[in-house]
Structure 1
Amino acid sequence: MAKKVKEGKITPERLEEALIVRDRLIIELLVRVLDEKLVIERPILRERVENFVELGDYDDELKETLYALVNKL
């Protein structure tokens, strides 16, 4: 069963910071996937990056911006 996509809104003041964090999380995920020699589809990528955001130590405003950016993938 698919996980519900978290909605968010982009906070302009946090956009640059969120883009940097999102890119770092995606790179980390891709390294793990390549290390395990897995194939990853876009919905799985979104879900796994959302999980990283959820587990990360980010404030609520940054998390909301990150969720919105992940949904644009």
Structure 2
Amino acid sequence: MANIRDITRMACDAQRSLQQLATVERMARHGAPIHPIALRTARDTHRARLDICAEHFVQLGAANDPAPTPAPVLA
């Protein structure tokens, strides 16, 4: 399993990249040339990275719990 610092770095990098893509998209609305398929592909890639990080964070459990507690069963 990955280290929490590595997961955090990956999540921060993906979020930073998404913010940069949003800036590029705003510039494209004002006339800057950008390929929409390339922009969508990059955005989907970084969102997938964030999803993977979220899955890893869920598997790590709470930092201050001595033992993992079972998830409640939803009816």
- Is the TM-score greater than 0.5? no
Larger radius of gyration: 2
Bigger relative contact order, structure 1 or 2 (CA pairs below 8 A, ≥6 apart): 1
TM-score, normalising length: structure 2: 0.38
